[in-house]
Amino acid sequence: MNVKEQITEYIISQPEPKRSDMKDLHRAIQELMPSCQLWFLDGKNNENKTVSNPNIGYGFQKISYANGTTREFYQIGISANTTGISVYILTINDKTYLAKTYGEKIGKASVSGYCIKFKALKDINLDILLAAVRDGFEAHNEKDN
Protein backbone atom coordinates (compact mmCIF):
# COMPACT_ATOMS: atom_id res chain seq x y z
CA MET A 1 0.00 0.00 0.00
CA ASN A 2 1.44 3.40 -0.94
CA VAL A 3 1.52 6.51 1.27
CA LYS A 4 -1.60 8.11 -0.27
CA GLU A 5 -3.57 4.90 0.29
CA GLN A 6 -2.34 4.67 3.91
CA ILE A 7 -3.39 8.29 4.52
CA THR A 8 -6.83 7.66 3.00
CA GLU A 9 -7.33 4.54 5.14
CA TYR A 10 -6.22 6.39 8.28
CA ILE A 11 -8.63 9.26 7.64
CA ILE A 12 -11.51 6.90 6.80
CA SER A 13 -10.88 4.99 10.03
CA GLN A 14 -11.70 8.07 12.13
CA PRO A 15 -15.22 8.53 13.51
CA GLU A 16 -17.30 11.45 12.30
CA PRO A 17 -17.02 14.42 12.62
CA LYS A 18 -13.25 13.96 13.07
CA ARG A 19 -13.08 12.10 9.73
CA SER A 20 -14.49 15.06 7.80
CA ASP A 21 -12.27 17.51 9.67
CA MET A 22 -9.15 15.43 8.96
CA LYS A 23 -10.13 15.14 5.28
CA ASP A 24 -10.71 18.91 5.01
CA LEU A 25 -7.46 19.72 6.83
CA HIS A 26 -5.48 17.27 4.68
CA ARG A 27 -6.92 18.83 1.53
CA ALA A 28 -6.20 22.39 2.75
CA ILE A 29 -2.55 21.61 3.56
CA GLN A 30 -2.08 19.93 0.20
CA GLU A 31 -3.55 22.99 -1.54
CA LEU A 32 -1.15 25.17 0.44
CA MET A 33 1.87 23.04 -0.52
CA PRO A 34 0.80 20.99 -3.56
CA SER A 35 4.20 19.51 -4.38
CA CYS A 36 5.34 18.64 -0.84
CA GLN A 37 6.38 15.13 0.07
CA LEU A 38 3.69 13.12 1.89
CA TRP A 39 4.48 10.82 4.80
CA PHE A 40 2.50 8.34 6.84
CA LEU A 41 3.75 6.99 10.15
CA ASP A 42 1.62 4.26 11.67
CA GLY A 43 2.77 4.96 15.23
CA LYS A 44 4.58 1.64 15.65
CA ASN A 45 8.25 1.09 16.45
CA ASN A 46 10.63 -1.54 15.01
CA GLU A 47 9.11 -4.17 17.31
CA ASN A 48 5.59 -3.37 15.99
CA LYS A 49 4.59 -1.85 19.33
CA THR A 50 2.38 1.25 19.28
CA VAL A 51 4.43 4.19 20.57
CA SER A 52 2.41 7.15 19.23
CA ASN A 53 -0.73 8.07 17.34
CA PRO A 54 -0.44 7.62 13.57
CA ASN A 55 0.70 10.79 11.78
CA ILE A 56 0.27 12.27 8.32
CA GLY A 57 3.34 14.30 7.41
CA TYR A 58 3.97 17.02 4.84
CA GLY A 59 7.24 18.34 3.47
CA PHE A 60 10.79 17.22 4.02
CA GLN A 61 13.61 18.18 6.34
CA LYS A 62 16.82 16.67 7.68
CA ILE A 63 17.03 16.82 11.44
CA SER A 64 20.57 16.97 12.86
CA TYR A 65 21.22 15.56 16.30
CA ALA A 66 23.94 16.50 18.80
CA ASN A 67 25.73 13.18 18.25
CA GLY A 68 26.23 14.04 14.56
CA THR A 69 23.54 11.77 13.14
CA THR A 70 20.76 13.02 10.89
CA ARG A 71 17.24 11.84 10.20
CA GLU A 72 14.84 12.58 7.38
CA PHE A 73 11.45 13.69 8.64
CA TYR A 74 8.42 15.77 7.75
CA GLN A 75 7.98 19.50 8.44
CA ILE A 76 4.28 19.55 9.32
CA GLY A 77 2.24 16.70 10.77
CA ILE A 78 -1.38 16.06 11.66
CA SER A 79 -2.75 13.38 13.91
CA ALA A 80 -6.06 12.38 15.42
CA ASN A 81 -6.04 12.12 19.21
CA THR A 82 -8.65 11.17 21.80
CA THR A 83 -10.00 14.70 22.10
CA GLY A 84 -9.60 16.00 18.54
CA ILE A 85 -6.77 16.80 16.13
CA SER A 86 -3.17 17.86 16.64
CA VAL A 87 -1.15 19.83 14.10
CA TYR A 88 2.62 19.66 14.57
CA ILE A 89 4.83 22.39 13.14
CA LEU A 90 8.31 20.97 13.58
CA THR A 91 10.41 23.60 11.80
CA ILE A 92 9.97 26.65 14.03
CA ASN A 93 12.86 26.83 16.50
CA ASP A 94 11.43 29.51 18.82
CA LYS A 95 9.13 27.46 21.05
CA THR A 96 7.17 30.56 22.08
CA TYR A 97 6.49 31.74 18.51
CA LEU A 98 3.29 29.79 17.79
CA ALA A 99 1.60 30.77 21.05
CA LYS A 100 2.66 34.43 20.76
CA THR A 101 1.76 34.74 17.08
CA TYR A 102 -1.38 32.61 16.78
CA GLY A 103 -2.58 31.68 20.27
CA GLU A 104 -5.02 34.57 20.72
CA LYS A 105 -6.32 34.53 17.12
CA ILE A 106 -6.82 30.85 16.40
CA GLY A 107 -9.92 30.18 18.48
CA LYS A 108 -10.51 27.26 20.86
CA ALA A 109 -7.14 25.57 20.60
CA SER A 110 -4.24 24.68 22.84
CA VAL A 111 -1.03 26.10 21.39
CA SER A 112 2.32 24.86 22.70
CA GLY A 113 5.89 24.99 21.43
CA TYR A 114 5.28 23.09 18.20
CA CYS A 115 1.70 21.77 18.50
CA ILE A 116 -1.74 23.23 17.89
CA LYS A 117 -4.43 21.00 19.36
CA PHE A 118 -8.16 21.49 18.91
CA LYS A 119 -11.39 19.51 19.18
CA ALA A 120 -12.91 20.34 15.78
CA LEU A 121 -12.25 22.62 12.80
CA LYS A 122 -15.45 24.54 13.60
CA ASP A 123 -13.81 25.64 16.88
CA ILE A 124 -10.86 27.39 15.22
CA ASN A 125 -10.08 29.89 12.50
CA LEU A 126 -8.79 27.69 9.66
CA ASP A 127 -7.11 30.65 7.92
CA ILE A 128 -5.05 31.30 11.07
CA LEU A 129 -4.12 27.61 11.35
CA LEU A 130 -3.03 27.57 7.69
CA ALA A 131 -0.99 30.74 8.27
CA ALA A 132 0.86 28.88 11.05
CA VAL A 133 1.41 25.91 8.71
CA ARG A 134 2.70 28.27 6.00
CA ASP A 135 5.09 29.77 8.59
CA GLY A 136 6.38 26.28 9.28
CA PHE A 137 7.12 25.62 5.62
CA GLU A 138 8.70 29.06 5.17
CA ALA A 139 10.81 28.77 8.34
CA HIS A 140 12.33 25.58 6.96
CA ASN A 141 12.93 27.06 3.50
CA GLU A 142 14.66 30.12 4.99
CA LYS A 143 16.88 27.82 7.08
CA ASP A 144 17.99 26.01 3.90
CA ASN A 145 18.87 29.19 1.98
pTM for the whole thing? 0.92
Paired sense of beta strands 84-89 and 55-58, if any: unpaired
**Residue 145, CB half-sphere, CA atoms under 13 Å: how many?**
6
Amino acid at site 19: R
Complete domains list, the chain, with CATH: 3-142 (3.90.1150)
End-to-end CA distance of the chain: 35
Q: 3-state class of 137 per DSSP?
A: helix
pLDDT tens-digit series, residues 41-69: 999 988 999 888 999 999 999 988 899 99
